[in-house]
Amino acid sequence: MKERVKVFDEKMHKTYEHLLGDYQTIRAGRANPHVLDKIKVDYYGSPTPIQQVGNISVPEPRMIQIAPWEKSLIKEIERAILASDLGITPNNDGSVIRLVFPELTEERRKELVKDVRKKGEEAKVALRNIRRDANDTFKKLVKEEVSEDEIKDLEDEIQKLTDKYVKDIDKAVEEKSKEILTV
């Protein structure tokens, strides 16, 4: 019986992990190298993550520095950053690229918090869909001579898991919102 619940627990956990990954790419006033995670550079014809073509460091709280391993990649990295939705113009001195993050305005912080809450809500919807799928699966078990009580127990188990992950998501939304609103 437990293995039936475990499959859905893993799906819920992946949903939660995905949300946390999304939150890492949202910048909260200070430079975070994870904002570059989704940006790919054309490296000899294949799209390659920036982390694999250079060294990324944060020398100051609001600056990311990218030192490509090959000087010829500077233009490609700049092009990839400009094409992304980062909204930051890269500066280069011929050997390194610097991304200077401006202070977030109050208005922009509020927009980011709305976005954080929206992503949290989408994750909760995904959890509820997983719960619905689980309950549908459990109801079909009647044909396999599983008692009504056992099905009820499985549904209770799934509800507890859903509640746990909803609580975790609410906590993650709260923490990220606080991080963004902290000046």
Write down the mean pLDDT value for the chain: 86
48-61: pLDDT as tens digits = 888 888 898 888 88
Within the chain, where are the H helices?
A: 2-24, 74-83, 106-139, 148-181
Maximum pairwise Cα distance, the chain: 72
Grade residue 1 by pLDDT with cuts at 50, 70 and 90.
low
- 61 with 16, same domain: the answer is no
Q: Is it the case that residue 137 has pLDDT exceeding 90? A: no
Q: Which residue segment(s) compose the domain that 144 sits in?
A: 2-25+105-181
The CATH code of the domain that includes 129 is 1.10.132.20
Q: Is it the case that residue 11 has pLDDT exceeding 70? A: yes
3-class SS of residue 40: strand
157-176: pLDDT as tens digits = 999 999 999 999 999 999 98
Whole-angstrom Cα distance, residue 46 to residue 179? 36
| pTM of the full structure | 0.71
The DSSP secondary-structure symbol of 141 reads G
**What total number of domains does the chain contain?**
2
